Structure 1
Amino acid sequence: MSPPIRRRPRIAAGCAVVAIATATACLESPVRADPAPSFEALLLRLDETPATLEAGALLDAAEARVRQARTVANPELGLEVENAYGSGPFQDYDNAETTLSFSQDLELWGRRGARVGVARAQAGAAVLRLDLASVEAANQLALAYAEAEAADRRFHLAEEALAVTAADARAAQILVEEGREPRLRSIQGEAEAAAARANLEEARAEREAAFARLTAVAMLPTPVTSIESSLLDRVPAAMAAATGATPEVRVAEADSAAAESRIKVERIRAMPDIRASVGIRRYEAEDATALTFGVSMPLPLFDRNRGAIDAARAEFRAAEARLIGARQAAEASRNAAAARLRASASRVAATDAGVSAAEEAYRLSRIGFEAGRISQLEMRSSRAALINARNAAVDARLARVRAEIDLARLQGRAPFGTSL
């Protein structure tokens, strides 16, 4: 084989290497103007998310109900006129009797204390719901951040895959022109390049959608166009022993306590409301006044509030059932999340080793193809393996983040040991 013929594939391979290096350098250069803030910086904005704002407003409402429950019932002022503007001796106001009275509900039987107890139980549940909303918002932010970063990496990998595929297609075209490969190899190379371009456009669309989701979840004023602070490469903190109840269980416990306290309130409502009154009465005919005293109470002959008591008991049983279910699900979910996190860490290590092996295999196949010892089909296979290995590494890191998010939610904390 003449020297010029042997040099041309080397020139094509050299061009491919230059193209790959140029594409990689372009991808690594900060060309976008609006990078996303770091995950820790975005966590500082959690108080502005709709979920936490809603939970905070509900907590304010619950605390206001506690203050309202502490207030004493308003007294009642009454004015009553008798024996006036009738007939006979009562046809005018001369024989009238005017009574000005002041009455007050005594709130016996612990009525006020029970009412305050229910309000406090509901406020305690609202506090736990606010904490749960903050944890959920942090986990949602972490997931949106990691998915955006993964989409960005997939886009970069698709760009690099297109550059490599195009370079291989050009090298195959040269071999076809020299008569060393059939025309089929050129057509296959063109088809692979077209598929790589389609994958790049799909990755571009996925990245734009992921950036839009991150912008919305983080409530950023300007759209995100790049990720600089990596979350995918962050290794989760060492898993602490699973102790205590999960946030969902704590909320269920608070709901159960509030439901139980409502039973006491309904029982007390069955007791009669006793009102005491004091007043002064004016006798027009005698031109005299006298004090009046009185106590009133309803007779519980028909309404003893039994329906409301039974309803409160049924609601308590339902709350207890939810609590039992939450405890059972929490233990299983926590163990499963910890297992998934350990498995994902092993998967990341395995995929990283796979990427290294695939890169070396592709490098050797390029050298062998350039020397004429390896066919184009073997080089295409090693290139596809490299592309798949790099994408698998991104998927493994995203799975690790999701496992950390699941475990953090069950432990009531923000992912990766960050504080709320």
Structure 2
Amino acid sequence: MYSTIRRRPRLAVGCALAVLATMAAGPAWADPAPSYAELLARLDQTPASAEANALVDAAEARVRQARVRPNPNLSLTAENVGGTGPYSGFGGGDLSLSVSQDLELWGRRPARVNVARAEAGTAGLRRDLALVDTAGRLALTYAEAEAAQRRAQLAEEGLALALADARAALALVEEGREPLLRGIQAESEAASARAGLDEAKAEQAAAFARLSAVAMLSTSPTSIGTSLLDAGAGPGVVQSDNVPTVRVAEAERTAAERRIDVERIRARPDVTASVGVTRFGIEDETALTVGLSLPLPLFDRNRGNIDAARAEFRAAEARVAQARQDAGADRAAAVARLAASGSRVSAADAGVTSTEEAYRLSRIGAEAGRISQLELRVSRAALINARTAAVDARLARVRAEIDLARLDGRAPFQGNP
């Protein structure tokens, strides 16, 4: 009875070793994803880029339309027809053919064009901001996929370490130097490490699928070849007044200001000139007719629209002020986070080095019987946590670089345009 119980840890660990051997014997091929730089070069093919370009094209088309003069009106009228006496029928009627044209006085057309140009400029700046946001999303998705790959590798290494420690614990149990409980604990830790590996591989597959969708890849990659987590940060030299969000707010303010001129001009009379020819049926004579028409601004002077345009301009000015304040604060915070994340990476790497040495010494001490299995497990857990913290620190550095790059108006890990 006792010998059967004693063999249980060895049997469990042997099964776990068999599973690990089967996993190692799986397919070794990998379909690496294109590098981040290659994916960045395809940024204009993404739906977000296509949408932004289409909106710019629409705004430029409205500029062309704003330059166009209004169409003339052609009018044909018949008078003094269908009556009695000499006015019976149509033969004695007067026919008038005239052409009228809106003169667009008071600078109507230039004001309209200026508004359209301002809106086109705003659309262009929004497109640039959309491209920066898309590049940031791509960088984050790429880095998360690489981080998931590293976590899966760490989980596989953790399983290998757990199995190695379980074998050592089993040997000590069989020699009577450790109680049977240590072997059962080692078996449980190996099973937990295996479950952690399965979870990490599932997260890796999900991260690769997200990268495939964001980067518009035809097939989902199975590995990350070129590292982004280890890449250096791009140069950040843009001042807060020139960040894309501030420039967009300023462009919107300019457009709002020009709309005030449009509404002011609309309050002035819209003059229409006409010229035509009239045939007098009874006399069978023709004469030229000319005329001017304009509305009398007795009731509607467009004051409501003028006041609304002024209020919208004040709101746009407030948005500019808010954007400048936010840009200054956000950039200072982004620079601080990037510097802190760099320090965190250095500290995490140093922690990995020290925990690796501590685990190596713990293994030597455990095999010599000078350190308990409990201390060995603590040392191994510290090593796994330190390696995971190093991955998390690098991912945090990528996020800080993305935030700073957005404020600088550039793609992450790239120079300013």
Q: What TM-score results when the alignment is normalised by the length of structure 2?
A: 0.92
- Alignment of 1:52 onto 2:49: yes
- For each residue in 1:325-346, what CA deviation from the matched residue of structure 2 results, as whole angstroms up to 9, or x when unmatched? 1111110000000000001111
Structure 2 residue identity aligned to 1:237: G
Residue 140 of structure 2: which of 134, 139, 143 is its match? 143
- Aligned residue in 1 for 2:408: 411
Preserved contact between residue 49 and residue 131 of structure 2 (Cα < 8 Å): yes
- Aligned residue in 1 for 2:349: 352
- Aligned residue in 2 for 1:208: 205
In 1, Cα distance between the equivalents of 2:287 and 2:238? 76
Displacement of 1:177: 2.0
Q: Superposition pairs for residues 212-231 of structure 1, below 5 Å?
A: 212-231=209-228
Q: Superposition pairs for residues 193-204 of structure 1, below 5 Å?
A: 193-204=190-201
In 2, Cα distance between the equivalents of 1:37 and 1:385? 34
Change (3 A) 1:332 1:243: closer
In 2, Cα distance between the equivalents of 1:30 and 1:258? 60
Displacement of 1:120: 0.2
Unaligned 5+ residue runs, structure 2?
Answer: 1-9
Residue 368 of structure 1: which of 339, 361, 365 is its match? 365
- Aligned residue in 2 for 1:305: 302
Helix, strand or coil: the match of 1:415?
A: coil
Helix, strand or coil: the match of 1:417?
A: coil
Displacement of 1:225: 1.1
Displacement of 1:40: 0.6
RMSD: 2.2
Preserved contact between residue 39 and residue 215 of structure 2 (Cα < 8 Å): yes
Q: Superposition pairs for residues 8-407 of structure 1, below 5 Å?
A: 31-240=28-237, 242=239, 244-407=241-404
In 2, Cα distance between the equivalents of 1:177 and 1:47? 65
Unaligned 5+ residue runs, structure 1?
Answer: 1-11
Larger mean CA deviation between 143-152 and 299-308 belongs to: 299-308
Helix, strand or coil: the match of 2:413?
A: helix
Runs of 4 or more above 4 Å deviation: none
Identity %, equivalent residues = 67
Q: How many residues align?
A: 401
In 1, Cα distance between the equivalents of 2:181 and 2:116? 79
Helix, strand or coil: the match of 2:406?
A: helix
Larger mean CA deviation between 320-329 and 347-356 belongs to: 320-329
Change (3 A) 1:243 1:325: closer
Helix, strand or coil: the match of 1:276?
A: strand
Preserved contact between residue 32 and residue 226 of structure 1 (Cα < 8 Å): no
Preserved contact between residue 269 and residue 295 of structure 2 (Cα < 8 Å): yes
Preserved contact between residue 34 and residue 222 of structure 1 (Cα < 8 Å): no
In 1, Cα distance between the equivalents of 2:190 and 2:120? 62
Q: What TM-score results when the alignment is normalised by the length of structure 1?
A: 0.91
- For each residue in 1:325-381, what CA deviation from the matched residue of structure 2 results, as whole angstroms up to 9, or x when unmatched? 111111000000000000111111111111111111111111111112111111111
In 2, Cα distance between the equivalents of 1:169 and 1:144? 37
Helix, strand or coil: the match of 1:103?
A: strand
Helix, strand or coil: the match of 1:290?
A: strand
Larger mean CA deviation between 312-321 and 246-255 belongs to: 312-321
In 1, Cα distance between the equivalents of 2:238 and 2:268? 50
Displacement of 1:242: 3.4
